[in-house]
Amino acid sequence: MVTRRQILGSALAPLAASAQSGPTEFQLACMTLPYSRFSLERALRGIAASGFRAVAWGTSHEGKPCMAVDAPPSEARALGARCRDMGLEPVMMFTTVNLEQPNAYDAHARRVEQAAAAGMPFVLTFGRTRPGEYEAAVDTLRRVGPLAKKAGVTVVVKQHGGNTATGRMCARLIQDSGAEGIKVCYDAGNVLDYENADPISDIRQCWWDVRAFALKDHRNTPVDQDCAPGLGEIDHYQLLMPVARMGIKMPLAFENIFEPIVPRPDTAEGIDRLASNARQFMETVIRGVQLALR
C-alpha cells in the first residue's frame, strides 16, 4: 500500500501538504445520461437499484429534455422531490447551452433558478469544441456568478475542447471572470480524448478550483473510445489524490459507465449492471486513496 510518507515525498507533496482541511467526502452520483434511450423514471429506478444514493440529471430521455431550459422552477422542485422519494439526492444538472452562445446568460440564469428550486448544489456547463469566442464565455460566467452565489448554487465548468479544453484552461476562465460561484467539474476522459493530454498532470494545475467530477475514462488503444472508470487508461487513484484532503463534499458524477469495444447493452437491466460495476470500482479507489493519505 502507498503510505502517507511516500505520497508526501512524491511530486504530490505540495498538494498533500497544502490541502489539509480534512478528508474530502466523495459523493458517488450516477448521471441519468447512460439511460437516455429509456424513460427518466426507469433511469432513476435503475440508478437507485444499482446502489447509488445520489443522481445527476442528464440531457434527454426518449428524445425529450430531462428538464427543459424554460421549465418553471416548480417543475425542477417536483423532480427533486421525486428523486429524494426514491432515495436519490439530486446533485447536478447540465445547462445544455454552451457558454459562448448568444442566449447563454439567460439559459444559465434559468438553470441556476431551477437548481435552487430542486435543492441541487451544482449546474454543469462547458464551452465549444473549437477555440475562439473566449470573451463571450468569460462574460457569461462573470454575469451568472453572482446569481449562482446568491442562490446557493455553484456553476461548474468541465473540459469540452476549445475554451474549456483542459482543467488549466477552465481555471483560467474562472480567474478571468472574477466571479464567485464558478468552479471546475473535472472531466479526465475528455482531457485524454479531445486533447490527448495527461489528466493527471493537468489536474495538478487546477485542483484547488475543482468541486466535482464528471467521471468517464478513455482508451486510445486498441480503440479510441470513452468508457467507464477503471476500464480505460486513466489512473483514478492519482486523479483523486490532489483533491482528497479538501474537507468538502465533492460529487463524482458518472457520465459514462459503458465497457469499451463491446456493444452497449440493449436493456435497461444491462445498464443497471454496468452502473453497479462502476460504482464498486470507484468505492474501491476512494477507500484506497483515503487510507493512503492518513
Q: pLDDT tens digits for 133-148?
A: 899 999 999 999 999 9
Residue 199: cis peptide before it, omega within 30 degrees of 0: no
Residue of 197, 280, 198, 210 lying closest to 240 (CA atoms): 210
Average pLDDT of the residues of the chain = 93
pLDDT confidence of residue 5: 42
DSSP label at residue 75: H
Q: pLDDT tens digits for 135-192?
A: 999 999 999 999 999 999 999 999 999 889 999 999 999 999 999 999 999 999 999 9
Residue 1 — pLDDT band, cuts 50, 70, 90? very low
Contact 246, 198 (CB under 8 A): no
> What does pTM read for this prediction?
0.92
Report long-range pairs for 80-86 (Cβ below 8 Å, ≥24 apart): 80/117, 80/118, 80/119, 80/120, 82/44, 83/44, 83/55, 86/44, 86/45, 86/48
Our measurement of the distance from residue 184's CA atom to the centroid of its chain's CA atoms, rounded to an integer in Å, reads 9
Domain boundaries, the chain: 4-292
Query: How far is Cα 15 from Cα 21, in angstroms, rounded to an integer?
Result: 12
Contact 127, 164 (CB under 8 A): yes
* H or E element in which residue 73 lies: helix 73-85
Residue partners of 171: CB distance under 8 A and separation at least 6: 184, 205, 206, 209
> Cell digits for 227?
468508457
CATH of 4-292, one of 2.30.30.60, 3.20.20.150, 3.30.70.2740, 1.10.10.10: 3.20.20.150
Q: pLDDT tens digits for 53-109?
A: 999 999 999 999 999 999 999 999 999 999 999 999 999 999 999 999 999 999 999
End-to-end CA distance of the chain: 12
Residue partners of 249: CB distance under 8 A and separation at least 6: 24, 25, 27
Cα–Cα distances in angstroms (integers) from residue 92 to residues 32, 58, 135, in the given order: 11, 9, 26
Query: How far is Cα 169 from Cα 166, in angstroms, rounded to an integer?
Result: 5
**Helices 167-177 + 134-151 axis angle, to 10:** 70
